[in-house]
Structure 1
C-alpha cells in the first residue's frame, strides 16, 4: 500500500508499506492490533487474558486513528503525546485497569523544512530502522529482563529464554507507569521502518530480521517473509508487523543529522533515564 502528501516546500512525500497480523499457532485469540494509515504506523500488543487484551489493543489503535483524522494531514509531537494519554484513559475506563497494551511505532512529522520520524514506545513491542545501510533497534523494551540486561545481571542472549521475559514494566491502561519514550530521527530517502510485536522478535533472531529487512524486497513481501519465519519457528504468540519504505523527493541539504534544538531541549529525542522521577 502507499500514501503520499505535500511535504516541505511542496515536495512530494511517498510512503510504501505492508502489514500483517496473525494469531499464531498456539493462541486462541489475536490480542494484537495495528494502524497503518497515511503518516502513522503502530503495533499494539494487548494483555489481560480472555478478550481483555484484544479490547485494550483495539481501543489503542482506534484512539490513534481518530486522533490522526482530527489532526489533519500532518501530526505533531504534541498530537502523539495526546494520543497516548487518551488511549490510556479510554482503556482504563473500559476495562477498569484489568487490561493493558503495549504500543510502538512512528509518525512522519515535519519540523521546519525537514521531515522526521517521531518514534514512540510503551512496553516491549519494538520499532527498528534501516537508514543509510545501518539497521538498528530504536526503541528500548520496558521489561524486567531489559532492566536485568541494563544492570549487568544477565546477558542479552540469556534474556531471550529467561522465565521473566514476558513481564513488562510499562503499559497503557494498567499499572502505575504508562509514560511513553520518544525519539526524533531524520527521515531520509531509502529509510525502511519495521514495527512489530514480540510475537516476531521472540521467534526470529535480530540477525534474521535484519537480513529480510535489508533484502529490499517490496514491503508486503518482506512482511509476509517475516511472518512465515515466525510461524515456522513455533508461532507461540500473536504476530503483528508493519514495514514502511520512505521515498522523499528532497534536495540533500533538506536533511539534517540532528533533531531541531527545541525538541532536544524538551527532552523528546531520548527515553527517560532509568531511576528518574515519575
Structure 2
C-alpha cells in the first residue's frame, strides 16, 4: 500500500565554532528523517548517535514505515548504544528526534518520535509548532509552573536532559501520529540550533526560504553567526504531494499504533 505522501528534503550539519568534534548524526532519506545528538566523553557520543542512525538506514527506499518497525529499530539502537559503554566510559548516549513517513488507509501521515531534547517542528500555513516535547529538567519545571519559557532559555539547568538512548537512561521515546497536509514543512534539529535561534526566527527563515536544502543551510549559517556554541544539525522535509484522505480513520496498516494522534502543547525549553 502506498503512503500517499511525496516529500522533498534538505539537510546540513556543522561542528560549530567551539567544539572539536561533531557528535551529531542524521538521516534524511525517505521515509526516515532523524537527528541524533550524542553525548559522552572519548568520542562516545559520536559513536552513539551514529549507532542509532545506522539502525534506521536499512529502511531507506521504503514507501512508509509502521510504528512496530520503528520501535524495533529503537530497541536495537538502545542495545547497540549500551554495548558502547565500558567500565571506563559508561556515559555513552544520544538523543533522537524526527519523523518517518507512515500510512493510514493509503493516506500519508507523519509519525514523529522523540527522546531527549533534540526537536521536531512543523510549519503549516505560516505557523510554526513544536511537535516534540523536550525531555529536560527545565521542561519539567515549565510544566510545573516553576519556570517560564523565557527563564528556561537562560537557566543553568537547560542542558540537563531526563531521557536518552543509553547514558544509563531507562526512559522511552514519545510518539505522535498526525496526517500530512500538502505544504507541511517538518524541521528536525539538534539543540545547537535552538540554543542559538528563537522559534520566531526559525519560523521566519523556514517561511522565507522555499528550497529545503537552502533553508537548512540558512539556518546553520545564522546559528553560527549567533555564536555556534555547539554542534548544529538541521533536517527539513516538505510534503510535496499528499493523497486525498478517505476519512475512514485508522485502518489495518495503522491498527497497531499506540501513540498520541495529536501533539500536545510543548512549551519551549530554550
User: TM exceeds 0.5?
Assistant: yes
Matches within 5 A, 1:152-191: 152-191=145-184
| Higher fraction of helix | 1
1:33 and 2:28 are equivalent in the alignment: no
Higher relative contact order (CA 8 A, sep 6+): 2
Q: Secondary structure at the match of 2:18?
A: coil
Deviations 1:92-143 (A, max 9, x none): 0122442000000000111112110000000000000012333200000000
1:86 and 2:76 are equivalent in the alignment: yes
When the two structures are superposed, what TM-score results if normalisation uses the length of structure 1? 0.86
The offset of 1:149, in angstroms, is 0.7
The offset of 1:50, in angstroms, is 2.9
1:187–1:265: structure 2 CA closer, same or farther, 3 Å change rule?
Answer: closer
1:163 and 1:249 map into 2 onto residues whose CA distance is 43
Runs of 4 or more above 4 Å deviation: 255-265
1:7 and 2:41 are equivalent in the alignment: no
Deviations 1:128-162 (A, max 9, x none): 00123332000000000101111111110111111
When the two structures are superposed, what TM-score results if normalisation uses the length of structure 2? 0.89
1:226 and 1:210 map into 2 onto residues whose CA distance is 10
Alpha-carbon RMSD: 2.4
Matches within 5 A, 1:237-276: 237-251=230-244, 254=245, 266-269=258-261
1:199 and 1:146 map into 2 onto residues whose CA distance is 17
Matches within 5 A, 1:66-77: 66=58, 68=59, 72-77=62-67
Structure 2 residue runs without a partner (length 5+): 265-270
The offset of 1:173, in angstroms, is 1.4
